[in-house]
Structure 1
Amino acid sequence: MNTADLGLPVDVPSTALFTDHYELTMLQGALEGGTAERHSVFEVFTRRLPEGRRYGVVAGTGRVLDAVENFRFDADVLGFLRERRVVDEPTLEWLSSYRFSGDVWGYPEGEVYFPGSPILRVEGTFAQCVLLETVILSILNHDSAIAAAASRMTSAAGGRPLIEMGARRTHELAAVAASRAAYVGGFTTTSDLAAGFRYDIPTVGTSAHAFTLLHDSERDAFQAQVHSLGRGTTLLVDTYDVAEAVRTAVEIAGPELGAVRIDSGDLLLVAHRVRQQLDELGAVDTKITVTSDLDEYAIASLAAAPVDAYGVGTQLVTGSGHPTCSMVYKLVARAESADPKAPLMPVAKKSTGGKTSIGGRKWAARRLDEEGVAEAEVIGTGAVPAELADRQLLVELIKGGQVVAREPLDVVRDRHAAARANLPLSATQLSRGEAVIPTEYV
């Protein structure tokens, strides 16, 4: 796997420094104390959903698998750690041969999750697992936040296609990850060519206001675009006067004009006027695309408008008000000694302030009602009840350090659509509320 496939600059040799300083100092302490080789189980979960959200979306799993594979301490990385005196020489020697050889289980990407869901389980020695905390959380927290926002937006769109176009509103590497997560959440295309190149997401785009302003007249700009891109192109009609622009667009492209884009004004009102004008001009098949700082609420407000597609940028790539999912990576079980046969014992943080966790290696299943609709997220540490045996959610992702569960992004996207459809109807409501199904511990 090339680092370019991760959305990394080509001169970044590995993902090993996508971590926090204290991961390495914990490693050093464990190596010195003789506890580094204790078998350990870490789990990723969130104690609560972002305020008002009814469900979460697992996204970024494929990128996590790539990151774990590329977690290597090469000469440059080791030199940096040595120069900064982050850890001592014995620890650097240990890191020089680091390869994750443990197991990872998790919810399949695209699945929905709820408070307490063991979204990812990382199992191996303490030394191997603790180093992966930061990179795993940074990917899952970001991508799942974007996918959740995208899911809400696609639900609000009611089947109308959405274009991801937020690259200019976030970090250039985050933009690629955001585009991938948006696709998982149901968006159909992206404007970001890097995302198209790395993840095979369909890309689209035509022109901005600058192209119109470049020309001596709007007519000249439209003629140039149609001549270059064909009659099926999308013409931006709100640089000057919308009604005049629509008239000019149809005169130049004819009824075969693919679409017009509206990027400002009262979108509901303008869309109705443009639709009426297009129909009167004979361009009955010309579609209308709207952009302009849309979020799920604005999209829902346009449900009755004659809009055919939406372009979403800022609100999408910032998680529509919730840029993280507050996922944590906690040690939930560890062996009593470094002996490979030593039994596991559950461990958990018990501090006050709402940051407690539940110890033990967990399984998760989703219980359905008589109509096949999800009614509870069931989590346990013992035997799985017979009636839930075929409803378990965790799947094997990495076995003995080898990735065993890579899959096409379209499969992930379809899985999310199916998972969301299997939730109660109230899951798609935009009004604030609690998780759409409860989490039950057994």
Structure 2
Amino acid sequence: MTDPTFDIVSPEAIRSGRATDAYFERTESTLRAADRNPHVAAEVTADQFPDGEFELLAGLKDAAVLLSERSVDVDAIPPGRLFDGGPVLRIEGPYLEFARLETSLLGLLSHASGIATAALEARRAAPDSSVLSFGARHVHPSIAAVVERSALLGGLDGFSHVAAGEIIGREAGGTMPHALLLCFGKGNQEDAWRAFDETVPESVPRIALCDTFSDEKDEVIRAAEALGDRLDGVRIDTTGSRRGDFRHIIREVRWELDARGHEDVEIFVSGGLGPSELRELRDIADGFGVGSYISNADPVDFALDIVAVDGEPVSKRGKLSGIKSVYRTDDGGHHVGLRGTDAPPNSEELMEPLIRDGTVLDSFDYSLNAAVERAKQDASLVGF
């Protein structure tokens, strides 16, 4: 008989530190046997020095949950800030308080930050368009809320996953898949569109999917005739193998709608899109659904390294010793320096107190709304 459980590591295993690499358990056992538990400072970094390649920080809410109620102090860059070299998070305390949490901590920050960075790239590619996250189907369902929160943090306008919305306190959006049209059968597209219109709540936009059985232009005209003034928009999701000149298809659709007095009907586009396609189509499409480009983004390659032991700077080869500060100058520059040295002129310190002696501070705002605003402002400042 098949095991009826899903292959999901439980939240309790993550919080307790069992979601770790085996060598941390062995390190912990060794240090306890040797009666060694030094006070350390450890920093999470992707790059040691700035190189001009900014990435967007996400995952801090989950990191705070992981590190809370332990005898450590934590400073971090708030979510929604762009970073380029130097630490994004620092832990200070007895090493055994957090040693076995490293694996999970890096995963929480790395995955979310990669998704958020890709979402911001999509947002900046079409700043005046509606851009929605359609990528939850490409990842394990247990992390759908991570995908959607990170996508919103990067500036996207909405997402599609229902359960993720329940977790992050936002309502999922979406209208109809090709399956609805297929269930009604070829030649019965009008029946499907009308049934949808008669069934779903009035708050749901009437956006008809128009590329299931026949030419996009043909189905768009038929949808407009079937729903009339109740039609809010059409979605074109033509698969890449049949797409041809996608820009030309969308321009044709716009022409035919306008020619029949449907200038207010919007055109939404989805299917294998990324920033380059959004830039190419943003002047003729009203909105986009972006899936795998965001959900399948490469995680940011964070590492956690000890940089001080019992107050003395130390590091492994290739890493910078000593506790550091990171700064944003008013011209958008990102700077890294030793803590306690002079800050660059006209700069702000990016790291803020997050946890003190295991307690998450109310002053650290990792709310989604605040992170979205930071990302928008930072992206403009640094020229992302």
Aligned residue for 2:206?
233
Letter in 1 for 2:28: L
Inter-CA distance 109–376: structure 2 relative to 1 (3 Å threshold): closer
Aligned residue for 1:367?
329
Aligned residue for 2:356?
399
Inter-CA distance 418–34: structure 2 relative to 1 (3 Å threshold): same
The separation in 1 between residues aligned to 2:10 and 2:41, in whole angstroms, is: 33
C-alpha displacement at 1:159, in angstroms? 2.2
User: Is 1:384 paired with 2:320?
Assistant: no
Letter in 2 for 1:215: F
Q: Secondary structure at the match of 2:336?
A: strand
User: Is 1:262 paired with 2:241?
Assistant: no
User: Is 1:413 paired with 2:366?
Assistant: no
Aligned residue for 1:310?
288
C-alpha displacement at 1:10, in angstroms? 10
The separation in 1 between residues aligned to 2:307 and 2:375, in whole angstroms, is: 28
C-alpha displacement at 1:267, in angstroms? 2.6
Contact 1:49–1:55 (CA<8 Å) still a contact in 2?
A: no
Gaps of 5+ in 2: 1-6
Q: Secondary structure at the match of 1:120?
A: strand
C-alpha displacement at 1:48, in angstroms? 7.0
1:196-211 correspondence to structure 2 within 5 Å: 196-211=165-180
The separation in 1 between residues aligned to 2:9 and 2:295, in whole angstroms, is: 23
TM-score normalised per structure 2: 0.89
Inter-CA distance 393–12: structure 2 relative to 1 (3 Å threshold): closer
1:24-103 correspondence to structure 2 within 5 Å: 24-36=25-37, 38-47=38-47, 54-69=53-68, 99-103=69-73
Inter-CA distance 236–49: structure 2 relative to 1 (3 Å threshold): farther
Aligned residue for 1:112?
82
**1:143-183 CA distance string (max 9 Å, x none):** 11111111111000122121111111111123221111111
Indicate the larger mover: 251-260 or 40-49. Answer: 40-49
**1:248-273 CA distance string (max 9 Å, x none):** 21112113311100001233111111
Aligned residue for 1:218?
189
Q: Secondary structure at the match of 2:345?
A: helix
C-alpha displacement at 1:345, in angstroms? 0.2
Inter-CA distance 377–207: structure 2 relative to 1 (3 Å threshold): same
The separation in 2 between residues aligned to 1:165 and 1:54, in whole angstroms, is: 26
Contact 2:67–2:98 (CA<8 Å) still a contact in 1?
A: no
The separation in 2 between residues aligned to 1:307 and 1:358, in whole angstroms, is: 48
Q: Which runs of 4+ in 1 moved over 3 A?
A: 8-12, 384-388
Contact 2:115–2:147 (CA<8 Å) still a contact in 1?
A: yes
The separation in 1 between residues aligned to 2:132 and 2:344, in whole angstroms, is: 44
Letter in 1 for 2:114: A
Q: Secondary structure at the match of 1:119?
A: strand
Contact 2:266–2:286 (CA<8 Å) still a contact in 1?
A: yes
The separation in 2 between residues aligned to 1:132 and 1:53, in whole angstroms, is: 30
Letter in 2 for 1:67: L
Pairwise CA RMSD = 2.2
Inter-CA distance 394–207: structure 2 relative to 1 (3 Å threshold): same
User: Is 1:17 paired with 2:18?
Assistant: yes
The separation in 1 between residues aligned to 2:82 and 2:145, in whole angstroms, is: 22
Aligned residue for 2:316?
349
Aligned residue for 1:127?
96
TM-score normalised per structure 1: 0.78
The separation in 1 between residues aligned to 2:49 and 2:292, in whole angstroms, is: 21
Gaps of 5+ in 1: 1-7, 70-98, 336-343, 351-355, 428-442
Inter-CA distance 10–224: structure 2 relative to 1 (3 Å threshold): farther
The separation in 2 between residues aligned to 1:324 and 1:381, in whole angstroms, is: 28
C-alpha displacement at 1:276, in angstroms? 1.1
